[in-house]
Structure formats: C-alpha cells, structure tokens
Amino acid sequence: DIQMTQSPSTLSASVGDRVTITCRASQSISYWLAWYQQKPGKAPKLLIYKASSLQSGVPSRFSGSGSGTEFTLTISSLQPDDFATYYCQQYNSYWTFGQGTKVEIK
Amino acid sequence: EVQLLESGGGLVHPGGSLRLSCAASGFTFSTYSMTWVRQAPGKGLEWVSAISNSGTSTYYTDSVKGRFTISRDNSKNTLYLHMNSLRAEDTAVYFCARESDYSDFDWWGQGTLVTVSS
C-alpha cells in the first residue's frame, strides 16, 4: 500500500502570507496526486489534480507542484476563506489520503 | 449542476447492518465511476470502496472487505453501500464522490453519519 505523509500537521499563518504544504509518497506515484480543501462540517473540495492542474473555479492563488514522491501545495497569498484543512491524495494505485494539514489563524 | 445526496445513515448496534444510498443528478451517472470515502469523528479522510461505471468492477479497502458491498443502479442514478457486521470503528461520516476522468474525486455529497454503538 502507498502511504502519504503531509507536513506540517498544523500551520499558523496570517492573511496575506505565502503558505506551503508538503506531501510525500512512500513510493513513486508519478503525477497522480490531488489536493483537497475541507472546512468543518463540509465535504472536501477538489483544488488541484494531476499534481499541478487547477480545478475549474478554484482561485489562481492555489498552485501545486511535484512528481514522483514529493509534492507541494502553495497558497500565494492566504485569504480569510482559506483557513481550513488540506489533504493530499494519491491515485496511482487505488486511493490514499494524507493525514491532513490544518491551516489556522496566527 | 452536479448533485450527490447521501441518505441511510443512523445509529446501529455492533454486528448490525445498514444500507447507504447516494442519489446523483446533473450529470450522466452511467458514464462515471463512483466511490465512497469516510471520515471518523475528528479524523482524516479514508477511501472505502469504488465501483466502475457499469458496476462490473468493484474495489475495497482491506478493513471492509467481506463486510461491505458497493453497488449501483444506473436506471435510478443511485449508488449504494451495503454494510454488514458493523463495528465501532466503522463510525464515521460517509461521503459519496464522483471519480473524474483522471480518477481524482471531483464532486462530493454532503455526507451521512453512521454511528455504531450499543
């Protein structure tokens, strides 16, 4: 099974900050990686697919990069609506999520 | 617009059974693979099961194999998850989601809560 490890688990940041979340796969997954945003009591929302492709309707301040085993999600300028939990997901072999990164207000 | 609406959750005793449903609209249901994902209270996301667009191929995470069955009725635009031999650790919000052409999950329902407790 492919394991996904996100870091950090919690991130404290201010509005306007540049934020980066890292996701590592236990083996190569090529570019088969997605990022999701989840707010309390809500369903996850797809942000990025195929490691770096922006889902339709998602603001351009979100970007993804990486391939193989190391990936990043970057928010270029954090907005109030971005405080949430973010999950990476591999879909190279079945599906596995990372443990999540909570972005909270500093 | 795509809509996915889960139902069927509730309180069930350990060892009991439950059937979840996910009613789909706003897209051609029969052309998409579908999946179930769960989230235990205060925990992260866990993929549970997936089914191909025709229903001929099904997949399960190890912890539910032999206990859960995924199915679909394309004539009713509905996805199902039949859950047997339920355990306390199956307590979670269960989301249905649509698999995109790339196999990520591009649309999600709002979830239905399953509580397994005596």
pLDDT tens per residue, range A65-86: 999 999 999 999 999 999 999 9
pLDDT on residue B64: 98
pLDDT on residue A87: 98
Own/partner pairs, B25-33, CB within 8 angstroms, 24+ separation: B25/B77, B26/B1, B26/B2, B27/B2, B27/B98, B27/B107, B29/B72, B29/B74, B29/B77, B30/B54, B30/B74, B32/B98, B32/B99, B33/B98, B33/B99, B33/B103
Nearest chain B Cα distance for residue A17, angstroms:
25
pLDDT below 50 — which residues of chain A? none
pLDDT on residue A96: 98
H or E segment to which residue A53 belongs: strand A53-54
Q: Cβ of B104 and A49 within 8 Å? A: yes
Mean pLDDT to the nearest integer, B74-89: 98
pLDDT on residue A45: 98
Q: A91 with A32: CB under 8 angstroms?
A: yes
pLDDT on residue B61: 98
Share above pLDDT 90 across residues of chain B, in percent, rounded to a whole number: 100
d(CA A88, CA B4): 22
- What lies within 8 Å, CB to CB, of A95 at 6+ separation is A89, B35, B47, B50, B103, B105
Of B59, B60, B51, the C-alpha closest to B30 is: B51
pLDDT band per the 50, 70, 90 thresholds, residue B81: very high
Mean pLDDT to the nearest integer, B21-50: 98
Q: Which residues on chain B are in Cβ contact (under 8 Å) with A98?
A: 44
* DSSP 8-state class, residue B89: G
Closest CB from A32, A45, A94 relative to B47? A94
Q: Which residues on chain A are in Cβ contact (under 8 Å) with B108?
A: 43-45
Q: Cβ of A87 and B59 within 8 Å? A: no
Nearest chain B Cα distance for residue A32, angstroms:
8
Chain A CA closest to residue B51: A94
Nearest chain B Cα distance for residue A33, angstroms:
8
pLDDT on residue A93: 95
pLDDT on residue B68: 98
Q: Which residues on chain B are in Cβ contact (under 8 Å) with A94?
A: 47, 50, 59, 61
Nearest chain A Cα distance for residue B9, angstroms:
16
- In Å, the largest CA–CA distance within chain B is 41
Q: A12 with A104: CB under 8 angstroms?
A: yes
- What lies within 8 Å, CB to CB, of B72 at 6+ separation is B29, B34, B51, B55, B78, B79, B80
pLDDT band per the 50, 70, 90 thresholds, residue B32: very high
Closest CB from B59, B95, B104 relative to A46? B104
